[in-house]
Amino acid sequence: MKWITRERPKIDRIACPWLIKRFIDVEAEFIYVPFSEVITKAKELGAIPFDLPGVEYTHYEDQCTFDYFIKKHQLKDEALNRMAAIIRGADTDRHDFAPQSAGLEAIFSGLAYNSTDDMELLAFGMRIYDGMYSWAQYLYYEKHSQTGTVEQMLLEVFTKYLQDNKGKKAPAWAKELKEMIQDQIDTNMSLSLQQVSNELEINPAYLSREFSKYFDNLSFGDYIRKLRIDKAIILIETTDYSLTDIAYLTGFSDQSHFNRIFKKQTGQNPSFYKKSILKSKKDTSS
């Protein structure tokens, strides 16, 4: 299937091809032509026009063409809905729709400034939206001060690093990485891909690709969160720190996130857990 729209694509005219290729028609072809030629060329080439006035696939009220594709093709996906708000805000200059909208607009404006090749812009944009989709699926609740995009990549790869490889001998860098993680558990629970790469003298792309082969049953993110909660439990049981202090000491950016992850890991709220520990100590001493 062929799709056609205006030349010099930016936000919506790259987001829609990404959505089509990833969720509607993997064999789709995209054509960019001057605005005045879109309808004529669409008829000549048997292509479906999109993102211009007077055609089916276009803006409606405060929603952009990306929104219409999701609605038209009944794509039920919360990650796509998160992306749609960002794309809508960036494409319509309504940055109140999502805090990430201004950044997305800046990225595509900069790409369009640097390149006059529409297909090159499309290729760049496809990679950007692939990354955004991963963020919208798995990382949207994370804050930069907690893990950040690079750190989260490391965490996610690290968790896979533990899967499906129980019989394989771990390379030397894997053993060193375990020691680095333990060091972080004993200090501030933070790691960056660049830090690990520098310490191990391994290319970060290779590290992120191979990470999932040598640890065990958890994603990197879940693994680090488990270690954080394990440390939090020790602090709750052995110190008088407040839960806010413990959340900070175990690498969580705020207590609400700490509460959520703690309950997910243990089945209890940290405040309830702390009360049960205090009650147990009181009963023991009485």
Listed by start position, the domains of the chain span 2-139, 148-217, 223-285
**Cα torsion 121, 125, 126, 128: sign:** positive
- How far, in Å, are 141, 190, 242 from residue 245 at the CA level? 21, 16, 5
Query: At residue 208, does pLDDT exceed 60?
Result: no
Which of 62, 32, 63, 68 lies closest to 47 in space, CA to CA?
Answer: 32
**pLDDT tens digits, one per residue of 136-164:** 998 877 654 444 444 444 444 444 444 44
Strand, helix or coil for residue 120: helix
Percent of the chain with pLDDT over 70: 68
Q: What whole-number distance in Å separates Cα of residue 19 and Cα of residue 6?
A: 17
Percent of the chain with pLDDT over 90: 45
First to last CA, the chain: 77
Is residue 90 within 8 A of residue 108, CB to CB? The reply is yes
Which of 61, 211, 219, 236 lies closest to 137 in space, CA to CA?
Answer: 219
CATH code for the part of the protein at 223-285: 1.10.10.60
Looking at residues 39-47, what average pLDDT do you find?
A: 97
- Cβ neighbours around 85 below 10 Å, total: 17
Query: At residue 187, does pLDDT exceed 50?
Result: no
What values do phi and psi take at 2, rounded to 5?
-105, 140
Query: At residue 48, does pLDDT exceed 90?
Result: yes
**pLDDT tens digits, one per residue of 233-264:** 998 888 888 888 888 777 776 778 888 888 98
pLDDT value at position 241?
84
Looking at residues 179-191, what average pLDDT do you find?
A: 52
Looking at residues 164-190, what average pLDDT do you find?
A: 57
- 189: Cα separation from own chain's centroid: 20
pLDDT value at position 186?
44
If you ran DSSP here, which 8-state letter would residue 169 be given?
A: P
Full-model pTM: 0.53
Which of 71, 87, 193 lies closest to 133 in space, CA to CA?
Answer: 87
Q: What whole-number distance in Å separates Cα of residue 175 and Cα of residue 162?
A: 12
The region of weakest confidence among 13-27, 109-123, 210-224 is 210-224
